[in-house]
């Protein structure tokens, strides 16, 4: 009879406690699917005295994560502490160097040290599994690494942060400002007290760097990702998007281009008819475009204790089965270096919102500057603040919102045109620019 896989868990927060509970309550199912039992034999956490809704009787309590990672009874070390540095890094390294398998949900650790850890896993023969690091219960890691191993990927993109998707959903549906929705998200626990990591796009960037490596065979490099957040998005942008047949989402996009792999995170207009546009609230989604197949969209809960724990336990079950896949889909020696693609080279359609001064020649000046950069306009919408009424004093009229949708053009052309328009002093304030991602 095959001996059970003995598991050590570092971190007993919401996810860690749920992992312990799942392994206990689903023991028979896991044993049947894995061909052997799975048993938690040791744990560690910051506080041993803290009350938890799990039974840890008979489970050894290691004094620290390193002791747990090198525990003689542990076959599989599960890291659920978080953070890109220690103690998570040292503990994972210690486990891999000891020939143990590692399961982690730590996107920050993988985005910064993933290649080094993958090398150690290859050298010492352990697995390095991290399904829960991107999209929680959405099986996107296995899909890219194993399910689509014979498919050339041209683009992978998605909604990878539930906090941002919740805020944009509320703004669209209720006409609220970004600040109002963020405050409500914090009250409901969807956003942290300091929400900048989420709303400025860095959480999405870490996840995108991991997906890009799996999709395109590049080394994980968060520094290669261009990042913008959602704080500049206003209700009028969402209303205009709806009128034009679009919806605004914060997307992480990695795409193969003639100039290399472009990785970017920014607010994006997507057609309402697209699968990704239907994903609302805190839900996550990833779309994969592959050669010879229709786009594949995976949708599900991207965070939360139960969803994350489910993915962690699935990774543990793979270890129990004896599966040892290359962490990033290829041997580390075959992964290519990647550099940050300048956004000036990005080519696509653009939404541009200007506050045009209601003066003779304004429209002509804007049109001239766009034409100078060979930017073609697909549509233009002008909303007069007085509903089309002639102002009583034309010389002091309020600026008029003008919305432009361009055909595909280069970002540097858009930037040059708008800089010239601002120099002409025919608009007020800064232009709002949102990229458009077609199906």
Among 299, 348, 285, 287, CA closest to 157: 287
Mean pLDDT of 342-355: 89
| 38-44 and 60-61 strand pairing | parallel
C-beta of residue 234 within 8 angstroms of C-beta of residue 178 = yes
Mind listing the pLDDT tens digit for each residue in 229-261? 999 999 999 999 999 999 999 999 999 988 889
C-beta of residue 102 within 8 angstroms of C-beta of residue 128 = yes
Structure tokens at 96: 């891999």
Q: How confident is the model at residue 439 (pLDDT cuts 50, 70, 90)?
A: low
| pLDDT at position 339 | 84
- Residues 155 and 284 placed together within one structural domain of the fold: yes
Boundary-marking domain end, from 291, 309, 333: 333
With b for 16 or more beta-carbon neighbours within 10 A and e for fewer, the 74-87 pattern comes to bbbbbbbbeebeeb
- Report the CATH number that the domain containing residue 427 is assigned in CATH: 3.30.70.260
- Asked whether residue 315 is assigned to any structural domain, the reply reads no
- Residues 195 and 125 placed together within one structural domain of the fold: no
C-beta of residue 136 within 8 angstroms of C-beta of residue 285 = no
C-beta of residue 11 within 8 angstroms of C-beta of residue 77 = no
Mean pLDDT of 175-198: 90
Name 7's bridge partners.
40, 76
Q: How confident is the model at residue 385 (pLDDT cuts 50, 70, 90)?
A: low
- Asked whether residue 183 is assigned to any structural domain, the reply reads yes
Q: What angle do CA 57, 61, 62 make, to 5 degrees?
A: 165
The domain tally of the chain equals: 3
- Asked whether residue 432 is assigned to any structural domain, the reply reads yes
The reply to whether 114 sits in an annotated binding site is no
- Asked whether residue 365 is assigned to any structural domain, the reply reads yes
pLDDT, the chain, mean: 92
- Report the CATH number that the domain containing residue 125 is assigned in CATH: 3.40.50.720
Boundary-marking domain end, from 310, 333, 356: 333
- Asked whether residue 313 is assigned to any structural domain, the reply reads no
- Residues 159 and 132 placed together within one structural domain of the fold: no
- Residues 202 and 214 placed together within one structural domain of the fold: yes
The reply to whether 359 sits in an annotated binding site is no
Mind listing the pLDDT tens digit for each residue in 297-322? 999 988 888 999 999 999 999 999 99
The reply to whether 236 sits in an annotated binding site is no
- Residues 208 and 290 placed together within one structural domain of the fold: yes
pTM of the model: 0.92
| 388, pLDDT greater than 50 | no
C-beta of residue 399 within 8 angstroms of C-beta of residue 201 = no
The reply to whether 17 sits in an annotated binding site is yes
| pLDDT at position 338 | 87
| 78, pLDDT greater than 50 | yes
Residue 356 carries which DSSP code? Answer: E
The reply to whether 305 sits in an annotated binding site is no
- Residues 200 and 252 placed together within one structural domain of the fold: yes
| pLDDT at position 397 | 66
- Asked whether residue 338 is assigned to any structural domain, the reply reads no
| 391, pLDDT greater than 50 | no
Mind listing the pLDDT tens digit for each residue in 154-173? 999 999 999 999 999 999 99
- Residues 111 and 164 placed together within one structural domain of the fold: no
Active-site residue identified among 6, 100, 112, 207:
207
- Residues 150 and 293 placed together within one structural domain of the fold: yes
Residue 116 is among the residues annotated as catalytic for this protein: no
Give the burial class of 159: count Cβ atoms within 10 A of its Cβ; 0-12 exposed, 13-18 middle, 19 or more buried.
buried
- Residues 108 and 167 placed together within one structural domain of the fold: no
Among 299, 142, 161, CA closest to 214: 142
- Residues 10 and 74 placed together within one structural domain of the fold: yes
Q: How confident is the model at residue 390 (pLDDT cuts 50, 70, 90)?
A: very low
- Asked whether residue 260 is assigned to any structural domain, the reply reads yes
Q: How far apart are the first and last CA of the chain?
A: 52
Structural domain for 379, as ranges: 344-436
Structure tokens at 140: 């996107």
Considering only the C-alpha atoms of the chain, give the largest distance between any 2 of them, rounded to a whole number of Å: 90
- Residues 149 and 93 placed together within one structural domain of the fold: no
- Report the CATH number that the domain containing residue 178 is assigned in CATH: 3.30.360.10
The reply to whether 12 sits in an annotated binding site is yes
- Asked whether residue 314 is assigned to any structural domain, the reply reads no
Q: What angle do CA 118, 123, 124 make, to 5 degrees?
A: 100
Mind listing the pLDDT tens digit for each residue in 315-346? 999 999 999 999 999 999 999 998 888 887 88
- Residues 128 and 154 placed together within one structural domain of the fold: no
């Amino acid at each position: 009879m095959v001996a059970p896989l003995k598991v050590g868990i570092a971190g007993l927060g919401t996810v860690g406690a749920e992992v312990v509970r799942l392994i206990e309550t689903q023991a028979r199912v896991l044993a049947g699917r894995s061909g052997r039992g799975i048993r938690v034999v040791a744990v560690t956490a910051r506080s041993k005295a803290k009350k938890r809704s799990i039974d840890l009787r008979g489970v050894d309590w290691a004094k620290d994560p390193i002791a747990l990672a090198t525990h003689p009874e542990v076959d599989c070390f599960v890291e659920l502490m978080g953070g890109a540095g220690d103690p998570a890094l040292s503990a994972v390294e210690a486990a891999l160097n000891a020939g143990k398998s590692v399961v982690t949900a730590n996107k920050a650790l993988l985005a910064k040290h993933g290649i080094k850890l993958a090398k150690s896993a290859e050298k010492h023969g352990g697995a390095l599994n991290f399904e829960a690091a991107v999209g929680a219960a959405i099986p996107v890691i296995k899909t890219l690494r194993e399910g689509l191993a014979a498919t050339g990927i041209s683009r992978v993109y998605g909604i990878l942060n539930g906090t941002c998707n919740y805020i944009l959903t509320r703004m669209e549906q209720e006409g609220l400002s970004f600040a109002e929705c963020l405050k409500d998200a914090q009250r409901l626990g969807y956003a942290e007290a300091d929400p900048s990591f989420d709303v400025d796009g860095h959480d999405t960037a870490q996840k995108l760097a991991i997906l890009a490596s799996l999709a395109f065979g590049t080394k994980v490099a968060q520094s290669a990702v261009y990042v913008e957040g959602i704080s500049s998005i206003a209700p009028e942008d969402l209303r205009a998007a709806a009128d034009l047949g679009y919806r605004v989402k914060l997307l992480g996009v990695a795409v193969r281009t003639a100039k290399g792999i472009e990785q970017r995170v920014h607010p994006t207009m997507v057609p309402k008819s697209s699968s990704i546009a239907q994903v609302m609230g805190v839900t996550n989604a990833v779309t994969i475009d592959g050669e010879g197949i229709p786009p594949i969209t995976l949708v599900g809960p991207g965070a939360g204790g139960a969803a994350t724990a489910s993915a962690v336990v699935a990774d543990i079950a793979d270890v129990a089965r004896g599966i040892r896949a290359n962490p990033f889909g290829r041997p580390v020696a075959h992964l290519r270096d990647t550099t940050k693609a300048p956004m000036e080279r990005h080519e696509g359609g653009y939404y541009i919102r200007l506050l045009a001064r209601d003066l003779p020649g304004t429209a002509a000046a804007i049109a001239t500057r766009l034409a100078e950069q060979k930017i073609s306009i697909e549509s233009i919408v002008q909303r007069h603040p007085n509903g089309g009424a002639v102002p009583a004093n034309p010389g002091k009229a309020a600026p008029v919102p003008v919305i432009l949708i361009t055909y595909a053009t280069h970002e540097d052309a858009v930037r040059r045109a708008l800089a010239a328009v601002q120099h002409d002093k025919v608009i007020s304030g800064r232009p709002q620019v949102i990229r458009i991602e077609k199906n």
